[in-house]
Amino acid sequence: MQYTKLGGSELNVSRICMGCMGFGDAANGQHSWTVDEEKSREIIKRGLELGINFFDTAIAYQSGTSEQYLGRALKDFAKRDDVVVATKFLPRTPEEIESGVTGSQHIENMINTSLKNLGMDHVDLYIYHMWDYNTPLYDIMEGLDKIIREGKAGYIGISNCFAYQLAKANDLAEREGFHKFISVQGHYNLIFREEEREMAKLCREDNIAMTPYSALA
């Protein structure tokens, strides 16, 4: 297995990251094709044996059961300091917006739930899963900075965004003294190559890691 630093961070990650969207309770979430905990554990254990130390999940994956499966497997099969764990948070819900939950409060609630699911006191990388057009960017970056300062996340990343949004977010972070996004997870493969237009160039210039999903289409 080959390893590299993730963008400008100090995280030493395997070049192959295990995406955990296929793990979780098939009766509890968006997908009906996910594998159960027993099969998930087999896959995670084999990945560790092959040198994978980077695992990516999300609170949205089967209502948090992917996080639960991953957390329990890593507790049994690996030392916490030997693995890099990433998870993601969703935008505010209409109900949260209606009740006045701020972007920062929402992020705090999301990370606390994910940490409980994972059985961990921190994640190495916390990812903004999809752009929240109903929440001010300042609130998002402030909330993410707060959880890093609290020790609940080591670094932050972003997913499913446009290059201009990533640039805008990191520019705001630099102006305000917040932590910046160090990675971007986008849809990229030999068939879908939109990321080559602007995102790849931005990431190269700013030393932001690209962690493509659906790499094999």
Q: Which helix (H) or strand (E) holds 180?
A: none
pTM, entire model: 0.97
Percent of the chain residues past pLDDT 90, beyond the cut = 100
What strand order describes the sheet that includes 18-19? 18-19, 54-56, 84-89, 123-128, 153-159, 181-185, 209-210
Q: Both tokens of residue 4?
A: 């590299």
Average pLDDT, the chain: 97
Residues involved in catalysis: 61
Kindly list the domain boundaries of the chain, sorted by start residue.
Answer: 14-210
Which residues sit opposite 108 in a β-bridge?
none
Q: Using 50, 70 and 90 to split pLDDT, how confident is the model at 37? A: very high
Superfamily for 14-210?
A: NADP-dependent oxidoreductase domain (3.20.20.100)
76-98 average pLDDT score: 97
pLDDT of residue 139: 97
Percent of the chain residues past pLDDT 70, beyond the cut = 100
Q: Could you tell me which of 125, 117, 197 has the C-alpha nearest to residue 155?
A: 125
pLDDT of residue 43: 98
